[in-house]
Amino acid sequence: MAFFADPKIALGVKLLEVLYIVMGIIVGYAGIKTLFEKDHKAPVTTAIFWLSLAVILIFGKWLPPVVSGILVVIMALPAIIGKVKPGTVNAPDSKYTRQLAEKIGYKIFIPTLSMGLFAIIFAVFTKISPLVGVGVGVIVAMILLMLFSKDNKISTFFNDSKRLLDQVGPLSMLPMLLAALGAIFTAAGVGQVIAEIVGKIIPKGNLTVGILVFAISMPLFTIIMGNAFAAITVITVGIGGPFVFALGANPVVVGMLALTAGYCGTLVTPMAANFNIVPVAILDMKGRYNVIKNQLIVAGFVLVFQIIYMLIAK
């Protein structure tokens, strides 16, 4: 409590912490509700996953780092053995949603757009993190939804968000885990080693060559790994840092474009099964690679566009 009362700590920092606490409560609710679901396939392990995440989100700031680290491992274990399962689905039936669509109409887009809108407002007009803006947008959206329909109670929001959390499951933790892996790579000095090896292959001190190698290795590694998030942590440290940013290129422009250059790899690899193979089954398609085939040309154009963009805006 002393943290929130301390006048020396900026309001934005406090609000961000409040946001994390609310996120922790939402996840914690999902964990506790899981324990009470009678026909759940793996209630205890699923609850361990969501509840340890909740503890890290809520108390992370005050826990010693080693305890947070142990909690991350505890959270990961049920996921690794495949024992984090979705619970009873409470999807709204289409009769009900059609009825509400008729009642609410196009007004539904106002709460839909409010999260992004407040993120931008906070980013442009305040020094507070845009993530807090997202949180404010969520509150505005909730109020609007409650005004639109009396059926929308606080419990509705909790139960509907549990449904979506169940859907995404442990893989939603991938960006945070990859960031942690990146931190270990940095601490262990992996970047220097890659830089030494790559330095033997490509000439040092040539920014154009550096950018080309950076922009092409991103989709290439993404094609092999199936995940641009995994590629960006490794490639930025190994190639982006020593061969692009160290030579004076703008890290914001080139570093960000490298990620979306990687997305061009995601569009053409069967390794990204969620996006490219699963829809084939969902849509009853005949050709296993017909989604990828339709993405090939687009991915090629967008990659070339981004490389030129990097070279111009560096």
Partner 1 sequence: MIKLIGVAIVILGFALKLDNIAIILVAGFVTGLVGGMDIVKILETIGKSFVANRGMAIFIIVFFVTGTLERNGLREMAAKLISKLRNATAGAVIAAYGVLRLILAAFNVSLGGSAGFVRPIVVPMAVGAVEAKHGEPDEKHVEEIKGMSAAMENVTWFFGQVLFVGGSGALLVQSTLKNLGYSSELVDLAKVEIPVAIFALIVASIVFNIKDKRLTKTLYASGKKGGK
The footprint of partner 1 on residues 171-200 (CB under 8 A) is 171-191, 193-194, 197
> Is residue 52 within 8 Å of 75, Cβ to Cβ?
yes
Closest approach of Cβ 295 to partner 1, in Å? 5
Task: Please tell me the distance from the alpha carbon of residue 161 to that of residue 174, in angstroms, as a whole number.
Answer: 19
The size of the interface with partner 1 (CB under 8 A), counted in residues, is 153
Closest approach of Cβ 300 to partner 1, in Å? 9
Site string for partner 1, 34-53 (x = CB under 8 A): -------------------x
Under the binding rule (CB under 8 A), the answer on residue 27 touching partner 1 is yes
Under the binding rule (CB under 8 A), the answer on residue 251 touching partner 1 is yes
Given the complex with partner 1, which of 1 and 91 has the nearer CB atom?
Answer: 91
Given the complex with partner 1, which of 7 and 305 has the nearer CB atom?
Answer: 305
In this structure, the dihedral spanned by the alpha carbons of residues 150, 156, 161 and 162, taken in order and rounded to 10 degrees, is -170
Among the residue ranges 2-10, 35-43, 201-209, 228-236, the one whose residues contact partner 1 (CB under 8 A): 228-236
Q: DSSP for 46-107?
A: HHHHHHHHHHHHHHTTTS-HHHHHHHHHHHHHHHHTT--------PPPHHHHHHHHHHHGGG
Under the binding rule (CB under 8 A), the answer on residue 256 touching partner 1 is yes
**Pick from 229, 212, 219: nearest CA to 314:** 212
Under the binding rule (CB under 8 A), the answer on residue 239 touching partner 1 is no
The encoded tokens of residue 247 equal 């030579």
Closest approach of Cβ 232 to partner 1, in Å? 6
Closest approach of Cβ 5 to partner 1, in Å? 21
Who contacts 67 (Cβ-Cβ below 8 Å, separation ≥6)? Answer: none
CA angle 51, 52, 53 (to 5 degrees): 90
Given the complex with partner 1, which of 87 and 191 has the nearer CB atom?
Answer: 191
Site for partner 1 in 107-146 (CB under 8 A): 108-109, 111-113, 115-117, 119-120, 123-124, 129-131, 133-135, 138, 141-142, 145
Distances (CA, A) of 26 to 163, 164, 277, 280: 12, 11, 32, 33
> Is residue 255 within 8 Å of 236, Cβ to Cβ?
yes
Q: DSSP for 194-211?
A: HHHHHHHHS-TT-HHHHH
Neighbours of 10 (CB within 10 A): 11
DSSP conformational letter for 245? G
Given the complex with partner 1, which of 20 and 213 has the nearer CB atom?
Answer: 20
Site for partner 1 in 257-286 (CB under 8 A): 257-260, 263, 266-267, 271, 275-276, 278-280, 282-286
Given the complex with partner 1, which of 189 and 203 has the nearer CB atom?
Answer: 189
**Pick from 234, 208, 232: nearest CA to 312:** 208
Under the binding rule (CB under 8 A), the answer on residue 15 touching partner 1 is no
Residue 183 is which amino acid? Answer: A
Given the complex with partner 1, which of 41 and 293 has the nearer CB atom?
Answer: 293
Closest approach of Cβ 252 to partner 1, in Å? 5
Under the binding rule (CB under 8 A), the answer on residue 12 touching partner 1 is no
Site string for partner 1, 54-93 (x = CB under 8 A): --xx--xx-xxxxxxxxxxx--x--xx-x---------x-
Closest approach of Cβ 94 to partner 1, in Å? 8
